[in-house]
Amino acid sequence: MNLSLGVRALIVVICVLISAIVGILAGLLKHTPATPKAPAILYGGGVFGGSLTLCLLVMSALGVL
């Protein structure tokens, strides 16, 4: 595909926002009231990184980026 730079930047921003939502939800699911918050935050950050990587790889494989 021949997309402009602005459209590609918008797609990357959408991938980041979707990954942030997935990371937040994973952190919320990991946290229990009896445990500290730090492991849940680290888990959510790891899920965010993995989700962003997967999203960008899929977009690259489709030829969008």
pLDDT in tens, the chain (65 residues): 788 999 999 999 999 999 999 999 999 999 999 889 999 999 999 999 999 999 999 999 998 98
Model pTM?
0.89
pLDDT of residue 65: 86
Distant-in-sequence contacts of 53-58, Cβ < 8 A, 24+ apart: 55/15, 55/18, 55/19, 56/12, 56/15
User: Residues 23, 44: contact at Cβ < 8 Å?
Assistant: yes
| Residue 19 buriedness (CB in 10 A; 0-12 / 13-18 / 19+) | buried
